[in-house]
Chain A
Amino acid sequence: MSNAISVNQLTFTYPNQSQATLQIENWHVEKNQKVFLHGPSGTGKSTLLNVLSGILTPSSGELTILGNAIGKLSAGKRDKFRANHLGYVFQQFNLIPYLSVLDNLNLARRFASNKKPKMSNQALLADLNISTDLHKKPVQQLSIGQQQRVAIARALVNQPELIIVDEPTSALDQQNSDRFMQVLLEQVNNTQSTLVFVSHDWRLAERFDQAVALADINSAGRA
């Protein structure tokens, strides 16, 4: 029970393809760990993230997320599980552009059903340096840096145990990128959640407890 992610003999093949996109013998992420996953595009990264979040189900093998065999849950339960226990931040399009900052957070809250005491939107946004005058603005009026910080707030709003972050800084300049990394790691430390940080940039790996290359664990497509 000390693993946040536990993968065993997992394969995933798209319905219209003969070759597997994912083939992972064995991969574990311990709870409260911050893991750097090196995953340039073309290594099955998006597929792996969709399998971890339960949008896709494994073709074979075992996948346990936070003690739940997620591949064996019904579609509806996987959706609820994702809303309650997982938080996502992507490279871009983390927010509904025409909704306000607060509406975006409330939308994420709406899908969750857990009874955990939640942080208020105000407190969360204050922690992430989003000033109150931005709260009611449509997010498309915010800068990219601000949007990515709101994205962290959105990901944390349901206090997820597992946070998955995918190339979150590639659209940001150096200053915003540093700031993003700093507030993200701060928040993860505060909430004691597990973090999987996917990036092609090895330079970021030093901030994490462990680093692993997706190419090393995914043997799909190898001769």
Chain B
Amino acid sequence: MFLTLAAKSLINRKASVLLTIFAMTVSIFVLIGVEHVREQAKASFASTVSGTDLIVGAKTSQLNLLLYSVFRIGSPTNNISWQAYQKLAAHKQVEWAIPISLGDSHKGYRVLGTNQDYFLHYRYAQKTALSFAQGKQFHDLLDVVLGSEVAKALNYQLGDKIVLSHGIGNTSFHQHDKHPFVVTGILAPTGTPVDQTLHVSLQGIEAIHHHGHSAQALTPKSITAMMLGLKSKLATFHIQRSINNYKQEPLMAVLPGVALAELWQMMTVLENTLSLIAVFVLVAALLGLSAMLIASLRERQQELILLRNIGASSWFVFALIELEAILMCLVSISLAIIALYTGINGFSDALISEFGLQISTDFLNQNTLIYLAIIVLLTSLSALLPAIGAYKNSKQLR
């Protein structure tokens, strides 16, 4: 009966109640959405590289090296020589070495030159190896292996011929159309930048840029960066130091975890700003709720007096106002969850292709539930002022 009374009372004032619920819904949507995207982005970044002990590139900031080698963001400042690669790959402490050569693109997607070690040793998420959805790794000079998103977005099949362009723009003038590549494999989705990458052999990269096809012309002169797996983790710092002190050319080795931590630190400011804005939006909505309830007390004066006359206590009147606020909050939470769910479903494709962000719809985790509980608590606090007002009015001590 108590619940019916509160619900019907709200329905009876639908205009102001609906507006309040709408404001609350928007604010809860923003708050939960920001938190969710934040966590997902973090998880998505952290799962991009796994099992790699050192990333080696030309001297730059460790963040820059991480961004261009792993996330394909920004441009490398300098290359490292083929000799340096060969020397490091042959080092007795090095178990495997993946060369990475960047700088070309296809319709806005980056082209990565590498060798078979990439498919053998590259790991993401929980040390998961790359697997093929269709086809196999590149074998011939002009073979290309597509990331899942590339194949999906451009609708490429095995056997399709594609033209790679120099530079990383979408509409590069210099198309290497003399050398069309053939799709030999399509990777399974990883939720990492691998999905947005086209993989060719290092020789293939050279073939784009040179006209001769002799073995000597196809040997790379330099690569962009390399990923190293070591035989013993204990050697990591020792190897890192000796690479950083390499005499022949300015090299740098970074630990992916340390560089990622630096990335978090930079993002923390942005994250906190977003969270703060979300909290302010919620506070504004709660103040609106409080104002609406206080304004409604005047028109409900007689209703509350009536309740008292038929035997309701002042606490009943207090609890009624609180219950109405909490009901509005619960409706808003439900609407916000539905909106977020449909929103993520509707925009997940755009998020993946534009930002490489894979946002899942399982945002109802323990963290979110704690947030929602706090929102309900804050709502009951905001309803305190109107509820106390109603409590005092119902005492009739004008």
Binding site for B on A (CB under 8 A): 14-15, 50, 53, 55-56, 75-76, 79-80, 82-84, 88, 90, 93-99, 103, 106-108, 110-112, 154
Contacts and interface: CB of A to CB of B under 8 A. Distances in A.
Contacts of B306: 93-96
A84 B307 CA distance: 14
A80 B311 contact: yes
Given A55-B396, A93-B306, A99 B311 contact: no
Interface string B295-324: 000000011011111111110000000000
B2 to A, nearest CB: 8
Contacts of B9: 96, 98
B310 A108 contact: yes
Given A93-B303, A93-B306, A96-B5, A111 B12 contact: no
Contacts of B309: 53, 55, 82, 88, 90
Contacts of B210: none
A98 B1 contact: no
A154 B312 CA distance: 14
B153 interface: no
Contact of A88 (B5, B303, B310): B310
B5 A79 contact: no
A55 B396 CA distance: 7
B5 A107 contact: yes
Contacts of A15: 397
A192 to B, nearest CB: 21
B4 A103 contact: yes
A14 B307 CA distance: 22
B107 interface: no
Given A75-B314, A96-B306, A110 B398 contact: no
Given A50-B396, A97-B12, A106 B1 contact: yes
Contacts, number: 62
A110 B306 CA distance: 14
Interface string B171-197: 000000000000000000000000000
Given A99-B5, A99-B8, A83 B310 contact: yes
Contacts of B312: 79, 111
A47 to B, nearest CB: 9
Contacts of A95: 306
Interface centre among A50, A94, A107, A110 (most CB of B within 10 A): A107
A90 B305 CA distance: 11
Contacts of A107: 1, 5, 310
Contacts of A106: 1
Range of interface residues on B (Cβ < 8 Å) = 20 to 34
Given A55-B395, A84-B311, A98-B9, 10 more contacts: A14-B398, A15-B397, A79-B312, A83-B311, A88-B310, A90-B309, A93-B303, A96-B303, A103-B1, A111-B310
B324 to A, nearest CB: 13
B11 interface: yes
A82 B311 contact: yes
Contacts of A88: 309-310
B239 to A, nearest CB: 76
A18 B269 CA distance: 60
Contacts of B11: 98
B308 A93 contact: no
Interface in B26-52: none
A94 B9 CA distance: 16
A95 B305 CA distance: 11
Nearest to A104: B310
A96 B305 CA distance: 11
A111 B12 CA distance: 22
Interface string B5-28: 100110110000000000000000
Question: Lowest 5 CB-CB distances: which A-B pairs, in order?
Answer: A83-B311, A111-B311, A98-B12, A93-B302, A79-B313
A83 B306 CA distance: 12
A106 B8 CA distance: 14
Nearest to B306: A93
Nearest to B310: A108
A70 B7 CA distance: 34
Contacts of A90: 309
Given A53-B309, A55-B308, A96-B303, A14 B314 contact: no
Contacts of B396: 50, 55-56
B330 to A, nearest CB: 20
Contacts of B314: 75
Contacts of B311: 79-80, 82-84, 108, 111-112
Contacts of B12: 97-98
Nearest to A100: B8
Contacts of B398: 14
A76 B303 contact: no
Contacts of A98: 8-9, 11-12
A138 B295 CA distance: 24
B303 to A, nearest CB: 6
Nearest to A154: B310
Nearest to A79: B313
Contact of A75 (B1, B4, B313): B313
Interface string B103-138: 000000000000000000000000000000000000
Interface in B327-366: none
9 contacts: A55-B396, A75-B314, A76-B313, A82-B309, A82-B311, A93-B303, A96-B5, A97-B12, A111-B311
